[in-house]
Structure 1
């Protein structure tokens, strides 16, 4: 999809990734377009699915979720029913920020937000280990984010 984007579209997307609160007037001025032309381009990117939505980035520590945990999950089998059951359960767990189906030595990689190690232990005992078809859970606590979440290169 990136190859299909014109230079101005890429610049609009780059600007929005760094500040999603920019007004259409500010975007238009930054890319040297009229507000109506800029809005049409923006709506085209939203309509085509390039822009999936808008959200605020929160500070985990400020909201009591200062620890990031990466969790490798191996299932007891990889049949469709097992995968579907696990994915439904993990999608319902609010502390799971991301869940990726993986290739390699484990089946899923989760990024989890918790307050501290005790909070993770509770989550592990009450939810993660109880998810359907879980055979093994391996956990790694992030010490700090070296490159925090950022936008895609355009």
Structure 2
């Protein structure tokens, strides 16, 4: 699906996604028009899903992060759908992952402080539908966040 030029472009794009197209083309060893064509082709194929802003939540006052492991009542036919639909409505839920196994869903939740988290937990999280078990893990440190692929 990808040739060596595509992989080289992606490698440089991952390293510095904010680079100007001309700089990226130069580092990847291609012309600007080749870079544009190949990036567009990778977007059309779904290799590149788009650009996003990475927000530093603590700088905005969100100093608490909690990972919630949720087990759902699977006797309810719409347990997953109802739960996920409701969890998406909570602005402080910044990530939702589903799993196979004892834990069905993991939510990443941010809060300004522990009082805010406690209020959020009681008023928004515990009211989510079809929860049969909930385990909270307090985030202490993020030691690695790297979504780059070894291309």
Query: Normalization by structure 2: what TM-score?
Result: 0.91
1:33 matched to 2:44? The reply is no
Counterparts of 1:38 and 1:79, CA distance in 2: 50
Counterpart in 2 of 1:54? 51
Counterpart in 1 of 2:79? 82
Counterparts of 1:73 and 1:126, CA distance in 2: 16
Counterparts of 1:41 and 1:11, CA distance in 2: 11
> Contact conserved, 1:20 with 1:55, CA < 8 A, in 2?
no
Structure 2 residue ranges without an equivalent (≥5)? none
Cα distance, 1:35 vs. partner? Answer: 0.5
1:6 matched to 2:29? The reply is no
1:42 matched to 2:39? The reply is yes
User: Within 5 A, what are the aligned runs for 1:58-137?
Assistant: 58-77=55-74, 79-137=76-134
The answer to which of 109-118 and 137-146 deviates more is 109-118
Cα distance, 1:80 vs. partner? Answer: 4.2
Q: Deviations over 1:46-81 (max 9, x none)?
A: 111111111121211101112221100111226541
Number of aligned positions between the proteins: 151
> Contact conserved, 2:12 with 2:28, CA < 8 A, in 1?
no
Counterparts of 2:75 and 2:69, CA distance in 1: 15
Counterparts of 2:20 and 2:75, CA distance in 1: 46
Query: Normalization by structure 1: what TM-score?
Result: 0.89
Taking structure 1 as reference, are residues 151 and 40 closer, same or farther at Cα in structure 2, changes over 3 Å only?
A: same
2:135 is paired with a residue whose SS is strand
Q: Which of 13, 20, 26 does residue 16 from structure 1 map onto?
A: 13
1:139 matched to 2:118? The reply is no
